[in-house]
Chain A
Amino acid sequence: MAQPSTPAPGTPGQLFTADDVTRVVDRMAHQLIERAASGSGDGDGLADLVLVGIPTRGAPLARRLAARIEAFTGRSVDVGTVDITLYRDDLRTRGVRALEDTRLPDAGIDGRLVVLVDDVLFSGRSVRAALDGLRDVGRPRAVQLAVLVDRGHRELPIKADFVGKNVPTSRSQQVRVRLAEVDGEDGVSVTDA
């Protein structure tokens, strides 16, 4: 499998082209299929799997992963979204903001393998908020984390289980993921603030 073009660490510029995004999503879908199977007693474990996207861009990313898993296996996978705004710890410093969708599958998440999906893993605070949110909804068998880009600089003990690409960045840089569903085109770039 071709590797995405890689700029030197910390160098601003395009990180993923649209084709790179497609390839990385495909690879992550394959990894999810393997993980679901290895965790289940019998069968492929896909009925047990729930992909939960963190809005904004985690939501379409979760739907894409589910679509690719279905394309590879012929099995459909439950998808949901969990808005973390009401669970954020920075509302007081950064102010309120509009809420986004929270939708979980009718079958719920109790006893299932929930994989949280987000575009960029940075401080880890979004993931903490999402974990708090999930706790109020049900009790999954396990929660794992899939991100398109891990850019480092964690502020909490949180680690991704599936990573599209690790990208060393400086704290002041911005990693911008663009997805066609939200931004009209696919791509990932790093810019200096």
Chain B
Amino acid sequence: MPESLSHRHLLEAADLDRDDATLVLDTAAQIESALAGREVKKLPTLRGRTVVNLFFEDSTRTRISFELAAKRLSADVINFSAKGSSVSKGESLKDTALTLEAMGADGIVVRHSASGAPHRLATWVAGSVVNAGDGTHEHPTQALLDAFTIRKRLGRLDGVRVVITGDVLHSRVARSNVRLLHTLGAEVTLVAPPTLLPVGVDSWPVTVSYDLDAVLPGADVLMMLRVQAERMNASFFPSAREYSRRYGLDADRMARLGDDAIVMHPGPMNRGMEIAADVADSPRSTIVEQVGNGVSVRMAVLYLLLGGNA
């Protein structure tokens, strides 16, 4: 096993080979057990390091999760919310990067509506860049926390059958999960209406299906993706009700899952749309657990990227 990651940044799930990904998950598990039941849930590891949360796009859980992770490692945290900036994206990103560089940021956690923004940023700064979601491209720490959750619930990832359902076309969560889960040996099936699958999906290491009911009995993990309300009027599917009937998860569908299968959702949920309220709140659902696991996984990432020689 390696002791550290092979890349200085975490820009996409492909930055992690199997050893890297396993190191992150193992580190997260150790951090979690080290902090379990403790009065002082804080470690001195990143004392004197500065982490900037650079969010050009709205986020609740991801930003808070990264902030908490950095604070629990004793890093100084600066939250930079660039919402509403009218400067053209390329320039504003570079100017911001140079400012952060001048302030000596050791780590930059960036969310941006433009796919590839973290990659550009990484070429301008000396610190480590962590992609917290870029456009419809990737969201690697979400994939890591999902993998961590699956491993914790099922005890393994190798050979686990994961079904990812919903708006794959626009989902950076799906992209990162497909890549990472494949790296870790899981078998991924994508289920979506043909209009919500990206061009080129046939070259991904996945099986594609249009029929959720057909794949349910063989699934160990069912991952529901958010249907984005802002796209409801586009012609991706005829109506919300029809989508919900064919691709939503209600109690009847959940009953067709195997006994040990779990239900995941990256949040935020549309209750009653892609997932029924009683499903979201059932013991099979890992939705709340995923949020807690997110902090441990992000602590692991920050430790591994910033703990040593920056």
| B307/A91 in contact, CB under 8 A | yes
> In residues 86-122 of chain A, which contact B (Cβ within 8 Å)?
86-87, 91-103
| A87/B44 in contact, CB under 8 A | yes
* A138, closest chain B residue (CB): B39
How far does the alpha carbon of A99 sit from the alpha carbon of B2 in the complex, in Å? 11
How far does the alpha carbon of A87 sit from the alpha carbon of B307 in the complex, in Å? 11
> B211: shortest Cβ distance to chain A, in Å?
43
How far does the alpha carbon of A102 sit from the alpha carbon of B308 in the complex, in Å? 21
| B309/A95 in contact, CB under 8 A | yes
> In residues 86-110 of chain B, which contact A (Cβ within 8 Å)?
none
Q: B231 contacts which chain A residues (CB < 8 A)?
A: none
Q: B180 contacts which chain A residues (CB < 8 A)?
A: none
How far does the alpha carbon of A86 sit from the alpha carbon of B73 in the complex, in Å? 9
Q: A83-B30, A102-B30, A136-B38 are in contact. Are A96 and B44 (CB under 8 A)?
A: no
| B38/A99 in contact, CB under 8 A | no
How far does the alpha carbon of A93 sit from the alpha carbon of B310 in the complex, in Å? 10
| B3/A86 in contact, CB under 8 A | no
| A96/B4 in contact, CB under 8 A | yes
How far does the alpha carbon of A83 sit from the alpha carbon of B33 in the complex, in Å? 11
Is B26's CB within 8 Å of the partner chain A?
A: yes
Is A161's CB within 8 Å of the partner chain B?
A: no
Chain A interface residue bracket vs B = 20 to 34
Q: Encode B44-75 as 1/0 by CB contact (under 8 A) with A.
A: 11000000000000000000000000000100
> B261: shortest Cβ distance to chain A, in Å?
30
> A82: shortest Cβ distance to chain B, in Å?
8
> B92: shortest Cβ distance to chain A, in Å?
32
* A129, closest chain B residue (CB): B44
Chain B interface residue bracket vs A = 20 to 34
| B44/A132 in contact, CB under 8 A | yes
Is A137's CB within 8 Å of the partner chain B?
A: yes
| B307/A101 in contact, CB under 8 A | no
How far does the alpha carbon of A138 sit from the alpha carbon of B27 in the complex, in Å? 23
Q: Specify which of A92, A98, A102 is in contact with B27 (CB 8 Å cutoff).
A: A98
> A136: shortest Cβ distance to chain B, in Å?
4
How far does the alpha carbon of A132 sit from the alpha carbon of B23 in the complex, in Å? 25
| B308/A94 in contact, CB under 8 A | yes
How far does the alpha carbon of A151 sit from the alpha carbon of B44 in the complex, in Å? 28
Chain A residues near B (Cβ < 8 Å)? 83, 86-87, 91-103, 132, 136-138
Apart from the given pairs A86-B34, A96-B304, A137-B39, 8 other A-B contacts in the complex at a CB distance below 8 Å: A86-B43, A92-B309, A93-B309, A95-B307, A96-B308, A97-B3, A97-B4, A100-B30
Chain B residues near A (Cβ < 8 Å)? 1-4, 23, 26-27, 30-31, 33-34, 38-40, 42-45, 73, 303-304, 307-310
The contact sample of 7 A-B pairs, CB cut-off 8 A, is A93-B309, A95-B3, A96-B4, A97-B3, A98-B3, A98-B26, A102-B33
